[in-house]
Chains A and B, each alone.
Chain A
Amino acid sequence: MDENNVILLKDVTRSFGEKQVLKGVSLEINKGEIFGLLGPSGAGKTTIINILTGQLSCGGKAEIFGVNCGKIGREVYRRTGAVLDNCGLYERLSCADNLRLYASIHRVSSSGISEALALVGLDGCEHKKVKALSKGMKQRLCIARAILHRPELLFLDEPTSGLDPATASVIHALMSDLRRNGTTIFLTTHNMDEAYRMCDRIALLSDGTIVECGEPGELCRRHCSTSELSIVTTEEERITLTNMPENADEVAGLIRGGRLKSIHSSEPDLGTVFLRLTGKELDK
């Protein structure tokens, strides 16, 4: 394992009964990056998180901080934090009580609780019962719990799923802050826009295999080299042309004839890339 690697997966397989969910997944995630795992529901994203956090056994090689995921001990758990699809908060307890439990587990002082709550914008909510919080506030509380002990690696399992854009942007800002502080983030999502904007690198997961991995922009360029030109003429006619030399004369003709109202290249997005590679659409 490279010293810079935080996570290493090599030919990881996992089955549930007859169904093989992961069919030889290989990944390397570097220190300090936001790595996004994109795939539709049921692709195996959460299974990978469960394997990496030692909750599930697997075939192949899975390591986190150089430790076999099947033998993770307290030392590794102290260096990681997780925000799961299911929040896992004690609804009858207050925000502070929820964090107090984890503060004791991770040996964090009580001042750390207030700091974590302030960091996610929940200062003043210490005594509020969790069941009285909105979904977005619960998600932020989950993040506060996950970063309470300042982990080096943070697992975020669809952290903005079902949230309004304002709350989602608060969470994105938090992720950016964490990355600036050197935290490695493993993000699973099926929101391609979120992945494109937030991630340094992404992997596309489909049917238990990684179909592509790399920087989001680079992936788009690699798989959609024939970007398109969307043209609107002065007669409000909409023309779509591939951005190829053979179409240059047609564009020049529109310009010369004074018929060009607007022109822009439409860059392919990750959803298009995913569709081209797998023939499937990512969930909206």
Chain B
Amino acid sequence: MRTFTALFIKQCKDSMRNLPSMMILLIYPAVACIMVTAMGSEEGMSRFFVTMFGAMHCTFAPISIAANILSEEKEKGTLRSLRMAGVSMVNYLLSLSLFVILAAMLTGSLFLVMDSFDTKYAIQFCVTMLCGDVLSTLVGLCIGICSKNVAAANGMAVPVGLVLALLPMLARFNDGIAKAAEYTYSGQISMLLEGGDVTGKTIGVCALYFAGLWVALMILFRRSRTESIQ
């Protein structure tokens, strides 16, 4: 627990000084704020922007940040130093995940002040964001663990994150894309953020993604343990 806490504190201090990471965490709330301020007076527009950018935020930010942090630790040799000090990979990944999810939730909560939410909807919004953050963090960890450096991680994380984040928005304009988006977790998250009901399909899609990503992470994790972490 002591190591876990130390890693978490280190992560907070390091990320607060990491401008690109901070920008990724704040860009969607900032854009949503600008759009709501500019066009929020029109009927339903503020809710539209808040849910759309909220879905993008909880999809893109955790993927990008988790992949970025993990690959940077590998590239700079800091992860190797930690492992040589006896820090287990499980402990490290857990502390990193907690940081990413908390950071994404904290910045995601800014969306709540941009529109008037009733309590029930606010809770649904937060729980949905949390689900999105957890799944996206798993995607980010998978990318980070199999990338040798930050450039390689960004090369994968940005397109994957953008496709997943933009799919729900593009689905509004095209039926074919809408059908495909229903089978992505970001599509289901977006639907829930808009106030949709939890259906069997929602649970099934999210559970399937969670299981698939967990298995992928375990496989990549085992591979990283048998090979040099450098």
Measured CB to CB, the residues of A under 8 A from B are 50, 53, 55-57, 73-74, 76-78, 80, 82, 84, 86-93, 97, 100-102, 104-107, 145
Q: Across the interface, name the chain B residue whose C-beta is closest to A102.
A: B85
Tell which of B9-17, B131-139, B144-152 binds the partner. Answer: B9-17
Over the window 1-24 of chain B, the binary record of Cβ atoms lying under 8 Å from chain A Cβ atoms (1 yes, 0 no) is: 011011101100110011000000
In the assembled complex, the Cα of A205 lies from the Cα of B3 at a distance in Å of: 37
* B83 contacts A by Cβ under 8 Å: yes
Q: Hey, which chain A residues are within 8 Å of B80, CB to CB?
A: 55, 84, 86, 88
> B86 to A78, Cβ gap below 8 A?
yes
Q: Hey, which chain B residues are within 8 Å of A73, CB to CB?
A: 86
* B223 contacts A by Cβ under 8 Å: no
In the assembled complex, the Cα of A84 lies from the Cα of B229 at a distance in Å of: 13
Q: Specify which of A77, A88, A93 lies most central, judged by the most chain B CB atoms within 10 Å of its CB.
A: A88
**In the complex, how many angstroms separate the beta carbon of A152 from the nearest chain B beta carbon?**
14
> B14 to A93, Cβ gap below 8 A?
yes
Residues 1-57 of B at the A interface (beta carbon under 8 Å): 2-3, 5-7, 9-10, 13-14, 17-18
> B6 to A105, Cβ gap below 8 A?
yes
> A105 to B86, Cβ gap below 8 A?
yes
In the assembled complex, the Cα of A69 lies from the Cα of B86 at a distance in Å of: 13
**Chief secondary structure at chain B's binding surface:** helix
> B76 to A104, Cβ gap below 8 A?
no
> A56 to B228, Cβ gap below 8 A?
yes
* B195 contacts A by Cβ under 8 Å: no
Q: Hey, which chain A residues are within 8 Å of B13, CB to CB?
A: 93, 97
**In the complex, how many angstroms separate the beta carbon of A20 from the nearest chain B beta carbon?**
16
**In the complex, how many angstroms separate the beta carbon of A128 from the nearest chain B beta carbon?**
14
Q: Hey, which chain A residues are within 8 Å of B87, CB to CB?
A: 105
In the assembled complex, the Cα of A129 lies from the Cα of B59 at a distance in Å of: 33
Task: Given contact pairs A55-B83, A97-B10, enumerate 8 new A-B contacts (beta carbons under 8 Å).
Answer: A55-B228, A55-B229, A76-B86, A82-B84, A87-B77, A90-B76, A105-B3, A105-B6
* B78 contacts A by Cβ under 8 Å: yes
In the assembled complex, the Cα of A76 lies from the Cα of B84 at a distance in Å of: 10
In the A-B complex, the 10 residue pairs with the smallest Cβ-Cβ separation, listed nearest first, are A77-B86, A88-B81, A86-B77, A104-B6, A88-B77, A92-B17, A74-B86, A101-B10, A88-B78, A82-B84
